[in-house]
Structure 1
Amino acid sequence: MIHRLLGIVILGGSFAIAWFMMSINTFSEHPLALPASEVTYQIPTGSSLSAVAIDLEKRGYLESALYFQLMTRWEGQAGNLKAGEYTLNKGITPKALINLFVSGKVKSHALTIVEGWTFKELLAAVNSHESLKQTLEGLTSQEVMVRLGLPGIEPEGRFLPDTYHFPKGTTDSEFLKRAYNSMETYLANEWAQREQGLPLKTPYDALILASIVEKETGQAEERPEIAGVFIRRLQKGMLLQTDPTVIYGMGDRYNGNIRRRDLREDTPYNTYVHKGLTPTPISLPGADAIHSVLHPAKGNTLYFVAKGNGYHQFSATLAEHNSAVRKYQLKR
């Protein structure tokens, strides 16, 4: 009798285990009940497996928090879930969900640093980005650089324009340090491959001139020609005479117009008054502008004037330039 009862218990236990394993297997392959084709889910830092499982069940995504925990422990992944923001797509199963949480492939956010922005404009974009953790609000430009571990470094021009992807919760200082390092790397590589004989003593000189070229034209194909004009002017000891430097020197006083008195105003950035480069960059130059400055177009042009269609007329002599000014500027 005892043997018969023991056999029944063992048989019943085997059936129960088999049923339980089949239930777990069915659960693992059954898609989550997501309310939309794509759902964003956040695992907060420090969250336990049980907390995540219970939350998923409360949201109605999972049928069983217990099964999810047991399955995760069975897979040996209970302590490997990584915090972050994840994208859950319609059809994802609990088994695939575990793999996603363990992979750390968090949802990516992006911010584009636009060529020609000033550092002030960059900070405004960073401060307003909802997915960046704000730690620099209210600080001056120099205080921001101190926070980045770069005390005494002028921030203008130091951050490479590009589109940067990052997970939610990335700090604003982490974002800026990444863009700063990208600029340092790119500028160093370009400087190492520069043409010889340029009137630029340091990579920073190249950065300054590239920032001016960046503001002079939005046409990529014109940048080498404009860079060539400025390089030749520097070689000849001529004034650069470029309006964007005047505008930068005016700061918040600029209202869209440059008057004759503005061209004569003695600011450190007025290249109608001072020879050579400006004290600092006047914008964030892009990769093309930097390359153009270090590989300028050959030729003999020393002047250019806007045609009014986004492009410029280049001239080799002052007489030609004055004629172009009358044609494209004065008549307008």
Structure 2
Amino acid sequence: MVEKKTNKLSFKAKMLLALGGFLIVILAGTGISYYLKYFKPNVTGSIEYLYIKTGSDFNDVYANIKSDNVVKDSISFYNAAQNMEYAGKVKAGRYRLTKGMGNRTFINMLKAGNQEAVKISFQNVRLKHTLAGMVSKKIESDSVSISKLLDSTEFVQKYGFNTDNVYTMFIPNSYEIYWNTDAEKFFIRMHEEYVKFWNADRKAKAANINLTPIEVSILASIVDGEALNDKEMPRIAGLYMNRLLKGMRLEADPTVIFAANDFTIRRVLNKHLRINSPYNTYLNTGLPPGPISMPSINAIDAVLSYEKHDYIYMCAKEDFSGYHNYASTLSQHLINAKKFQQALNERNIKK
């Protein structure tokens, strides 16, 4: 009797052990399958960023991932994406790829739209359409779309500008912005930065010299064109303010060069002074209708805090140091101008 009972228990134990072993194998297989699908390193690192264009669906994203060899196992990515319901939650953007990233982490990043911003830096950009080209290399919007907005009277008027002076809105600096930014959102972001820049202090200084922020920036663009050395900017700004206050023409060579649309000119000649353009300050009194380049922050602040003096003439120094000789009388200015013209002749600079 005892032996039979022992044999019976042994059989039950064996069955339990076998069942337990089977369950362990099933669980282990499930765990391994789960690991392989979601956690096994899959991102190759073949490219640094995955760009998902606005309007893309899951099939577009999957096609890009396959063509760019983004993952080692595209099938496991596809299955994981379906299980995680990514197909209906595709978000445009620029996503940094980390080598060895598993499908779960990768897909969660895409679902959440956790993209990395791009850095846009600009300064000393002469023309607004040049800026549009530069920016279009950093964001999804193309240069044509950006330029169309800048040239749209109806659009820029909503922000207090016209198509001539809208370029004063762009404050040279470095900005972080998302890659999938369209032209209008880019404009809105730059306007927000413009509003921040023109704080109460700067507005008060502009009002104190009887200029609007736009007029300050237009004058600053001329100061930028004249000054090779930033520390000379307040004096140059003061000279032009003196001319404005006296009702004199600014007679600024950089405006003539802009009017000629020839930025290779090194010597302004009489024929240049006769160019019929609203930007030619030898022919027109007051400020030109818009900036002749993107004004720098230093130049804007130089205008706002311009140096008080009685100079109304200046001429580049004959030593080509980049500095200027200043004069309060025409006779003294003519002496300075003659010295500079002789220096140009000696160096055979004819145009």
Please confirm whether the aligned pair reaches a TM-score higher than 0.5, indicating the same fold: yes
Q: Supply the AA of the counterpart residue of 1:114.
A: Q
Aligned position for 1:119? 128
Matches within 5 A, 1:172-321: 172-187=183-198, 189=200, 191-194=202-205, 197-200=208-211, 202-251=212-261, 256=265, 258-265=268-275, 267-307=277-317, 308-321=320-333
For residues 229 and 70 of structure 1, what CA distance do their matches in structure 2 show?
A: 69
Aligned position for 2:343? 331
Q: 1:148 to 1:15 in 2, by over 3 A?
A: farther
Q: 1:193 to 1:276 in 2, by over 3 A?
A: same
Q: 1:195 to 1:141 in 2, by over 3 A?
A: closer
* Structure 1 residue 92 corresponds to structure 2 residue 101: yes
Mapped contact 2:45–2:98 kept (Cα < 8 A): no
Q: 1:90 to 1:316 in 2, by over 3 A?
A: farther
Q: Alpha-carbon deviations, 1:195-241, whole Å to 9, x = none?
A: 664142x2222122122212222432222221121122222333321
For residues 283 and 179 of structure 2, what CA distance do their matches in structure 1 show?
A: 47
Q: 1:270 to 1:42 in 2, by over 3 A?
A: closer
Aligned position for 1:168? 179
* Structure 1 residue 134 corresponds to structure 2 residue 142: yes
Q: 1:80 to 1:7 in 2, by over 3 A?
A: farther
Q: 1:149 to 1:13 in 2, by over 3 A?
A: farther
Matches within 5 A, 1:148-159: 150=158, 153-156=162-165, 157-159=167-169
* Structure 1 residue 83 corresponds to structure 2 residue 92: yes
Q: Supply the AA of the counterpart residue of 2:279.
A: Y
Q: Supply the AA of the counterpart residue of 1:314.
A: Y
Q: Indicate the structure (1 or 2) with the bigger Cα radius of gyration.
A: 2
Mapped contact 1:53–1:65 kept (Cα < 8 A): no
Mapped contact 2:313–2:330 kept (Cα < 8 A): yes
Identity %: 25
Mapped contact 1:194–1:294 kept (Cα < 8 A): yes
Mapped contact 2:156–2:162 kept (Cα < 8 A): no
1:243: Cα distance to partner?
A: 1.1
For residues 302 and 146 of structure 2, what CA distance do their matches in structure 1 show?
A: 36
Q: 1:91 to 1:138 in 2, by over 3 A?
A: closer
Structure 1: which 5+ residue stretches go unaligned? Answer: none
Mapped contact 1:47–1:83 kept (Cα < 8 A): no
**More moved, 273-282 vs 7-16:** 7-16
Aligned position for 2:30? 20
What SS does the corresponding residue of 1:89 show, helix, strand or coil? coil
Q: Alpha-carbon deviations, 1:164-202, whole Å to 9, x = none?
A: 4434343234333433443344235554241664142x2
For residues 64 and 17 of structure 2, what CA distance do their matches in structure 1 show?
A: 41
For residues 240 and 276 of structure 2, what CA distance do their matches in structure 1 show?
A: 21
Q: Supply the AA of the counterpart residue of 2:142.
A: Q
For residues 271 and 52 of structure 1, what CA distance do their matches in structure 2 show?
A: 55
Matches within 5 A, 1:27-38: 28-32=38-42, 34=44, 36=46, 38=47
Mapped contact 1:263–1:272 kept (Cα < 8 A): yes
Structure 2: which 5+ residue stretches go unaligned? Answer: 1-10, 345-351
Q: Supply the AA of the counterpart residue of 2:334.
A: N
Mapped contact 1:126–1:172 kept (Cα < 8 A): no
1:242: Cα distance to partner?
A: 0.6
Mapped contact 2:77–2:103 kept (Cα < 8 A): no
Mapped contact 2:278–2:284 kept (Cα < 8 A): yes
